[in-house]
Chain A
Amino acid sequence: DIVMTQSPLSLPVTPGEPASISCRSSQSLLNSNGYNYLDWYLQKSGQSPQLLIYLGSNRASGVPDRFSGSGSGTDFTLEISRVEAEDVGVYFCIQTLHTPFTFGPGTKVDIK
């Protein structure tokens, strides 16, 4: 199985400041079709996960443009340009190139 790691696991943030989360995979997630099969989700407290970024760098519908995804192969980054209070929660990456799909451990983002 592909192993996903994230860092940091905990990220205290200041509203208005940028934030960055790293996700790494044990194998390349770059498909022959040119897409990286890496998605990002945010799970707010007591809620279901919500899609933020798909195929490495595509923002999902309705996701604010302060969120961006980048990277290729085995190294990926989720960036929040200016954190807002509503962005707190746990951020997960997931690889969907090979079954079983596997999630990262999650990064808990909260306000300092």
Chain B
Amino acid sequence: QVQLVQSGAEVKKPGASVKVSCKASGYTFTTYAIHWVRQAPGQRLEWMGRINAANGNTRYSHKFQDRVSFTRDTSASTAYMELSSLRSEDTAIFFCARNNLEGAGYYMDVWGRGTTVTVSS
């Protein structure tokens, strides 16, 4: 079945970086984009950006663009999100989600289960 499987929980110190993976299965990886969404405690969901799995083109939210990087490995059907210069406010669940590159809209029809990142000294 179609699914996105994310890597496990991480605990990081302030100033460190974290890299989260999102492995796709059950569909052709390169026909979709992968979005990354952050859910911090008590905060509304935040869209971090997206990567076109076909050509690797990225679009970042200005809020994160100075310290986030999206990459993908098409041979492994896996997308990656790396966030650097972590601070306590980055403690959150990070979700990946796909949207079809064809047709209108950027709706995300399949989501990963989320990766919890805790930033603590």
Q: Do A and B come from one complex?
A: yes
Q: Measuring CB to CB, which residues of chain A are less than 8 angstroms from any residue of chain B?
A: 31, 33, 35, 37, 39, 41, 47-51, 54-55, 60-61, 92, 94, 96, 99-106
Known: A100-B63, A103-B44, A104-B44. A51 touches B109 (CB 8 A): yes
Partner of A100, one of B47, B108, B112, B114: B47
Q: Is the interface of B mostly helix, strand, loop or mixed?
A: loop
Residue of A with least CB distance to B108: A51
Name A55's closest neighbour in chain B (CB-CB). B105
Q: Which one, A37, A47, A92, A102, contacts B106 given CB within 8 A?
A: A37
The answer, yes or no, to whether B54 is at the interface (CB within 8 Å) is: no
State the interface size on chain B (CB cutoff 8 A). 23
- Known A-B contacts A100-B63, A101-B47, A105-B44; A51 and B104 likewise in contact (beta carbons under 8 Å): no
Say whether B105 contacts A61, CB under 8 Å.
no
Q: Using Cβ atoms and an 8 Å threshold, which residues of chain A touch B108?
A: 39, 41, 49, 51
When distances are taken between beta carbons in the complex, the residues of chain A under 8 Å from B112 are 48
Contact A49 B45 (CB under 8 A): yes
Residue in B46, B61, B62, B107 whose CB lies within 8 Å of A39: B107
Is A48 within 8 A of B111, CB to CB?
yes
For this complex, 13 residue pairs linking A to B, each with C-beta atoms less than 8 Å apart, are: A37-B105, A48-B95, A48-B113, A48-B114, A49-B45, A49-B97, A92-B45, A94-B47, A96-B107, A99-B47, A100-B61, A103-B44, A103-B45
